[in-house]
Structure 1
Amino acid sequence: MGDLEIRPAAADDVPAIVAMLADDPLGAQRESPDDLAPYLSALERLSGDQNQHLVVAVRDGRVVGTLQLTVIPGLSRKGATRSVIEGVRIHADERGGGLGTRLIEWAIDESRRQGCQLVQLTSDATRTDAHRFYERLGFEASHVGFKRSL
């Protein structure tokens, strides 16, 4: 295993990120790796927002993991700032080797650095392996989530 670098995502990373997003039954239904234009547009929006942190984990020059961290100032919890971890993906070749833990630890450390008092995430109800992973890292299943497509 080579050295690991966690850094902000760049346009050149988008194909690898999208491939990881699409590499499971849920992602295969909702991602379009053959058309990168919407992803590149999204990266541009993310890059212009100081509260958005889309990062990649790179080993030996290859993107092997990604996540998005969003910092949200708020009024609840006495004006607490919270962060949300989204889109955590690890390349199939790297799963089970501790990379996911390193990415989540990076997100927690960055959340603290950004002054957050809480870090949260959601995980699809069908991703039971991911749920066990997040619980091992100290996350608690505390809420029921709802979504509405627009």
Structure 2
Amino acid sequence: MLSYRVAVKNDAGVVAQLLTELEHVNSLEQISERWERWSAVPENDVWLAYLPGGEIVGLAIVGISPSLYRPYPIGRLWALLVRERFRNRGFGRLFLSFIEEGFREKGCGLIELTSNVVRVDAHRFYESFGYSKSSFRFSKVL
């Protein structure tokens, strides 16, 4: 059974470590420096999923945005990760269900997420949950 909690600044090390599994390499110092700015936005959260003994299974980075073009806020799932050794055991499904319920409770009518084009297994996972490819995301490094 999984439990969930909102991460705090003291969790910056585990957050940095988990993000490396998504190929987002950040040091403890970098995550710690950004934490205050990130957490100053009340709609932003980093959720940790953990086992009864306290071992961290994964993380979800989420936010909520008001919308000018929709009548409801949009839930944004910036990252969802289950550690590799815990994959294919149902933890991802439990975690995503928990995140979706949180968005519902806050009045979101839509969830948007991005997934790296090479993460084909992740795409299949999201599609099995009812997500569909609905747009292209473009990015440019400045």
Query: TM-score normalized by structure 2?
Result: 0.91
Aligned to 2:106: 114
Within the candidate set 13, 19, 22, 2:20 is matched to 22
Instruction: Write the letter of the residue equivalent to 1:8.
Output: V
Within the alignment, does 1:140 sit opposite 2:132 as a pair?
Answer: yes
Q: Greater CA deviation, 52-61 or 4-13?
A: 4-13
Question: Percent identity between the aligned chains?
Answer: 27
Aligned to 2:28: 36
Aligned to 1:6: 4
Q: Counterparts of 2:68 and 2:138 in 1: how far apart (Å)?
A: 21
Q: Counterparts of 1:23 and 1:81 in 2: how far apart (Å)?
A: 29
1:53 shift after superposition = 1.4
Aligned to 1:105: 97
Question: Given the superposition, is the C-alpha separation of residues 63 and 44 from structure 1 closer, same or farther in structure 2, using an over 3 Å criterion?
Answer: farther
Aligned to 2:42: 50
1:20 shift after superposition = 1.9
Instruction: Write the letter of the residue equivalent to 1:31.
Output: V
Between the two proteins, the alignment pairs up a number of residues equal to: 141
Q: What SS is found at the alignment partner of 1:14? A: helix
Query: TM-score normalized by structure 1?
Result: 0.87
Q: What SS is found at the alignment partner of 2:56? A: strand
Within the candidate set 40, 65, 71, 2:64 is matched to 71
CA contact (8 A) 1:66 1:88 kept: yes
Q: What SS is found at the alignment partner of 1:6? A: strand
CA contact (8 A) 1:72 1:81 kept: yes
Write out per-residue CA displacement over residues 44-77 of structure 1, whole angstroms, 9 at most, x where no aligned residue.
2222221101110111212110011110001102
1:115 shift after superposition = 0.6
Q: Counterparts of 1:63 and 1:136 in 2: how far apart (Å)?
A: 24
1:142 shift after superposition = 1.1
Q: Counterparts of 1:64 and 1:14 in 2: how far apart (Å)?
A: 15
Q: What SS is found at the alignment partner of 1:76? A: coil
1:14 shift after superposition = 2.2
Query: Which segments of 5 or more consecutive residues in structure 2 lack a partner in the other structure?
Result: none
